[in-house]
Amino acid sequence: MTGQRPRRWFGAAVRPVLSLALLALVIHSLDIDKLRLTVSSLDTRFTALAVGVLATSPLISVPRWQAILAALGWPRPFALLTRALYVGAFFSQVLPSSVGGDVWRIWHCARTGVPATTSAYSVLIERFAGVCATLVFFAASFGPLLARIDDPPLRWALWVLLVGFIGGAGTVATLACASDWISRLRLLAPIAGLARALATVGRSGRLIAIMAATAVLGQLVASIGYFALARSVGASLSFGDCIATMPPVLLIALVPISLGGWGLREGAFVVILKCYGIPTEQALLLSVSFGLALVMSTLPGLALWWWQPIQRNSTDTPVTQRVTLWSKNSAN
């Protein structure tokens, strides 16, 4: 156990260091005078609008997560899941890894009686729906995006990004389709439960519609917030440009090597927006503003975590009692 602690601390420390290193690499090429001028011309009204718009993102995800849990046999109240999503969104922004927010959501559900594995499956599937929406927007706008990019290495990188995520999504879909076959193989036993959960969700046309509608709406909300911030920094990007340039950046920021995507997101924005004629100083400020707006939009989650206690569902057996009963049965 003592040997594992240094490794955990090392893993937690690496991401902030990498984020700072990536940010320093981007800042190194800036014209500081131009950056000061760009900062001084910020339109805070558009910034406030972006924060308000982005603050609705967790709320949009609630019906999706609620429907997934209900399909898996563990329906939960709207208010309870709203709290979990807002607090989880806050932790995703401030902890060394965005996974921290998902861990909170899993633990929060488990406290109300949902089995930990089922809670984990529901969070993974809900996350997967959001990533798929981003991927759909990326694929739909891929042609116009490539038309604006004349740098061959960047074009190849975008192709790799698109094909890689499509391959990953296809692998997850295959798990659902082959859930019965996977359940019969001991080697694949650890993912059999997830495969069955995916298959259960995939059988409901109504649930698929809810997942698709909320995921697309969430992507549009993020695009509106991004567009408002572009107006705030004075970047000459149309709403269509924002829809085309944001998905690849969001997918790149999912790579778990930095603190909440910081550094990766800034570098991706600077490189891609340069092809749209946006100066490096504006692109960096837009990306930093987007990151700060995301943090500020999750502050309701901090308030909910601080003031509102977790309510355990009285009709469910508490997790601690389940563990005690399981331990007694195992001993017997």
Rounded to whole angstroms, the Cα distance separating 82 from 311 reads 13
Query: What is the pLDDT at residue 313?
Result: 47
Rounded to whole angstroms, the Cα distance separating 64 from 147 reads 35
Query: What is the pLDDT at residue 324?
Result: 35
Please count the residues of the chain.
Answer: 332
Query: What is the pLDDT at residue 50?
Result: 94
- The one-letter amino acid at 126: E
Cβ pair 171, 132 in contact under 8 A: no
Mean pLDDT, contiguous 10-residue spans, the chain (332 residues) = 48 57 55 60 87 94 95 92 91 70 88 92 93 94 91 93 93 84 74 88 90 93 94 91 93 74 80 90 87 89 76 42 34 38
Q: Which residues of 264-294 are buried (b: 16+ CB within 10 A; e: fewer)?
A: bbbbbbbbbbebbebbbbbbbbbbbbbbebb
Query: What is the pLDDT at residue 165?
Result: 93
Cβ pair 242, 223 in contact under 8 A: yes
Rounded to whole angstroms, the Cα distance separating 12 from 265 reads 19
Query: What is the pLDDT at residue 31?
Result: 54
Query: What is the pLDDT at residue 315?
Result: 40
